[in-house]
Structures are given as structure tokens and as C-alpha cells.
Amino acid sequence: MRELSLHILDIVQNSIAADADLIKLIIREDIAKNLLIIVIEDNGKGIESEDISRVVDPFVTSRKTREVGLGLSLFREASRRSKGDMKIESEPGKGTRITAYFEYNNIDRVPLGDIVGTIVALITTNPEIDFIYRHVYEGREFVFSTEEIKAELGDVSINEYPVLNWIEKNLNEELRDLYGGDL
């Protein structure tokens, strides 16, 4: 995949398939430590400990529609290409946490990509799921929570066009501020 945001979209689909109703995305950019960390955490079904090593095998999937699952193996390879790695922590009935590490300035690290578009797409197609997105850049951070927005909206659905438009605009502004006005 050409962007990390597409990997994130794919991994979050695993969380959705595992019946998660809360999915957290944490992106930490630490240029001083030359490190990019992406964490995707859910409260879904979880993975049995004996199956954790198997889920990164591209020829293993829990789906009935096809016999291969490339998402986790491709994400792990993307991290390893940039002198990083990926770890999976999971507990059945509690959820799963995927953490991928990347060397920030590595020439083989694919760009983060359109993270705002990814988040808006996830909200559009999964309005019943709560998403928390936390982005940290050089010690500055912002947090976005659909649960808070839903509480403010009352009976208005979070995936109505004016709301999604506002979310997209707000996230772009937050990222611009986080990066010091540059995007």
C-alpha cells in the first residue's frame, strides 16, 4: 500500500469484524527520536494467544469469503522496511492492540497519507462505532472522539453530510495546528 492510512483502514476493518464498538487510533510522531508509532486498539473479540503468531501469516484469515488475509502481514512488512516492527497484544473477550514502529526519516517508510479521509470514511460507514483518534507530534497533541460529538448531536446522526463535512474540516484544522500551520 502506498500510504499508512490505507493500512490503518484495513486493520480497523479487522476490529469492526471482531465486533468492536470502540476503536482507538494513536499516532505518535517523535522526530527527535526518529520514531513514528501507530497504535490501533479495540474492544472486540480478541485473539487467542496461540493464534497471534498466525494472524500475520498472509495465508491465514478468519473470513469465510476468501482464504487469505494480507492486512496485518502487509502492515508488519511496511514497518520492517523502515527499520521498525509490529507487535500484537490481545486477550479473548477484551480486545486487541496492534502497535507498529517505523523509523521516521527512513527512505522506505511510506507516508502517513490521508488520515483525515480515512477517519471520515470509517465514521461514514460505521456510525454506531465510537472512534478515538489521538495524534501526537513533537510533544503537541490533539484528541478527537466521536462519542463526544454524538453526545452534542443528540438525535442527529454523525454520518449526515453536514456533520461529516464539519468533522473533516475540524480534523484538517487540528492537524494543521499540530504541525505548526504546515500541511
For the chain, the average pLDDT equals: 92
Torsion of CA 67, 70, 73, 74, to 10 degrees: 160
pLDDT of residue 65: 45
Q: Is the pLDDT of residue 183 over 90?
A: no
Q: Is the pLDDT of residue 56 over 70?
A: yes
Strand, helix or coil for residue 150: helix
> Does residue 83 contact residue 103 with C-beta atoms inside 8 Å?
yes
pLDDT of residue 51: 84
- In sequence order, the β-bridge partners of residue 36 are 29, 102
Phi, psi dihedrals of residue 137, rounded to the nearest 5°:
-135, 115
Between residues 63 and 117, the one the model is more confident about: 117
Q: Tell me the CATH number at 42.
A: 3.30.565.10
Q: What is the mean pLDDT of residues 54-66?
A: 60
Question: pLDDT tens, 148-177?
Answer: 999 999 999 999 999 999 999 999 999 999
Q: Is the pLDDT of residue 63 over 90?
A: no
Q: What is the mean pLDDT of residues 10-24?
A: 96
Q: What pTM was estimated for this model as a whole?
A: 0.92
Dihedral of alpha carbons 58, 62, 66, 71, sign:
negative
Which cell is 7 given?
493500512
Task: Give the span between the Cα atoms of 77 and 182, in whole angstroms.
Answer: 29
Place of cell 474540516: 169
Domain tally, the chain: 1
Question: pLDDT tens, 80-120?
Answer: 999 999 999 999 999 999 999 999 999 999 999 999 999 99
Domain of 57, in residue numbers: 4-179
Q: Give, as one character, the DSSP assignment of residue 129.
A: S
pLDDT of residue 102: 99
